[in-house]
Amino acid sequence: MRRPVARKLTVLAVSAAVVSVGAAAPPTAQSRPAAPKTPVAVGYGGAVASVDPDASAAGIEILRKGGNAVDAAVATAAALGVTEPYSAGIGGGGYFVYYDAKSRTVRTIDGRETAPLTADENLFTENGESIPFAGAVSSGLAVGTPGTPATWQTALDKWGSRKLGSVLRPAEHLARHGFTVDDTFRSQTAANEQRFRYFPDTAELFLPGGELPVVGSTFKNPDLARTYKELAREGVGAIYHGELGEDIVATVNEPPVDPDSGWNARPGDLSAKDLAAYETKLQAPTRTAYRGLNVYSIAPSSSGGTTVGEALNILERTDLSKASKARYLHRFIEASRIAFADRGRWVGDPAFEDVPTKELLSQRYADSRECLIKDDAALTSPLAPGDPRHPAACAGGGTAAPTTYEGENTTHLTVADKWGNVVAYTLTIEQTGGSGITVPDRGFLLNNELTDFSFAPANPAVHDPNLPGPGKRPRSSIAPTIVLDQHRKPVVAVGSPGGATIITTVLQTLTGVIDRGLPLVDAIAAPRASQRNAAQTELEPGLYDSGVREDLEALGHSFKLNPEIGAATGVQRLPNGKWLAAAEKERRGGGSAMVVKPVR
């Protein structure tokens, strides 16, 4: 068995050799331009949209070989584990939403990470006080049981047409032969450089030769290529019942930290029993009727589907298509504020909490909350939640719960195939770089997803549904969404990374397409606002520097600048079997939209 402490003291001694054997290729010998990114593509045979061209190409390769949307989604996700390792990978989890064209139904997989079976509500407490967030992030204590490998296998078993080994081949090849480092990868590495150096295995992999990767150099990950090959050969049982799982457990419980760094990498308490007990959850999606369309998303443990759905229900009474830009944004902001107030009070893991999902998504409840919105004055936060079980007009009750921090560098992919099947899949290792801990010799980072739990109740007198518990899933904001028309055929599918801003990004994109009539790629590119029941609404520069900000401030809104919110992708069904794929034009360096057979 590989022990995680094996190379603690040798990273500097071997750093010169690392460049030649494969953590990353020499920047001068194999420099090449990055693959081009195209934010929109139209054509036949299926479509893939992700943040990365190599990952989108992996999905397209599977579609071209006759695979379906599920096969292509897993292939794309595995490739993102290579090229976007700070956002996703087999050390994390996610939520998978699937539209089956034959039955015209939407199914979902909850592949969220779980807390160890020994965890309780004091998981992040020491000496009666909550651990500082920064002290918990880069630790074994923050690592949940990974759900991504099980999600891939579940999706393929239920709806795929290819074996796991077949769809992993493009990603294995990419890890072995490398991808071109771009500005985004280098800047994300730089932002994590200090904590990456705490962990010798992470530094060896992501700081080749002890330095930041050079833009234009070829970055290889032969350890991950071998790991993918092992999964292809042995299946995901290698993680949940085998040696690979043993390596994960050893790494979590004895984080391989550089003893000279002085970093307290608090050990976790993950066990082989936790891995063996892990199961994905096949569950019904959330459903919201909006403008005659049916909006489907993921149900709790994620709050994405309920919160986007409630906000849409609140907006149903307003004709946003005819509203001025200021009135549209005012209503959008207020609907988000109200929905987040209810999210904080009511949504947690339904295996542990009594989550009123049906009531949160009722139009009756939305109407009782919508009447709080005034056209001549902004609401103030923190706003108290309502009670969806007993709706009362304009009523609020209890104490407002602040929105907990969630890491923003998740990733989202959207896929459609020639048969009309669609996948919207968001996967994550939490914040950029996850826990910062690489499993030695395995080539992937572990998540820090357990920091999505509340460390302590916001108000001891009010029940917090998001406290840790044994085997519990922390609340998420992930919101992969598929919209169907009245004939139960796809209209559009979207999703985004961005922590809690995922909800507002998906909501704004949907209303941009459905209400404002924007082309999907322009709805994705539009400058964003995000209100999460906070004192200030975050605005991207395109809104912060505009006249509409002054119009909204006159109503009492308060704003702060956020340089970048989310990184969405989507697909849209067009007439005659065509698909449109769309991704970001600029955020995260731009996204990558591809189709099997392009047309003008």
Q: Which residues does the annotation mark as catalytic?
A: 410
Task: Report d(CA 533, CA 402) in Å as an integer.
Answer: 7
Task: Report d(CA 505, CA 526) in Å as an integer.
Answer: 10
Phi, psi of 229 (to 5 degrees): -65, -35
Hey, what amino acid is at 5? V
Task: Report d(CA 113, CA 95) in Å as an integer.
Answer: 10
What lies within 8 Å, CB to CB, of 406 at 6+ separation is 430, 452, 476, 477, 499, 500
Which secondary structure element, helix H or strand E, spans residue 295, and what is its range? strand 293-297
Q: Is residue 393 classed exposed, middle or buried when 0-12, 13-18 and 19+ CB atoms within 10 A define those classes? A: exposed
Is residue 275 classed as helix, strand or coil in its secondary structure? Answer: helix
Residue 389's Cβ-side half-sphere holds a number of Cα atoms within 13 Å equal to: 6
Is residue 413 classed as helix, strand or coil in its secondary structure? Answer: strand
Task: Report d(CA 490, CA 294) in Å as an integer.
Answer: 9
Task: Report d(CA 149, CA 236) in Å as an integer.
Answer: 6
Please, which residues bridge with residue 561 across strands?
539
310 touches 366 (CB < 8 A): yes
Task: Report d(CA 344, CA 402) in Å as an integer.
Answer: 7
Residue 441's Cβ-side half-sphere holds a number of Cα atoms within 13 Å equal to: 15
Task: Report d(CA 467, CA 349) in Å as an integer.
Answer: 10
Please report the DSSP string for 110-142 in residue order. Answer: EE--B--TT--TTTTEETTEEPPHHHHHTSGGG
Diameter over CA atoms, the chain: 69
First to last CA, the chain: 54
Task: Report d(CA 481, CA 308) in Å as an integer.
Answer: 9
Residue 480's Cβ-side half-sphere holds a number of Cα atoms within 13 Å equal to: 30
Task: Report d(CA 440, CA 460) in Å as an integer.
Answer: 41
Q: What is the DSSP letter of 214?
A: P
Is residue 202 classed as helix, strand or coil in its secondary structure? Answer: helix
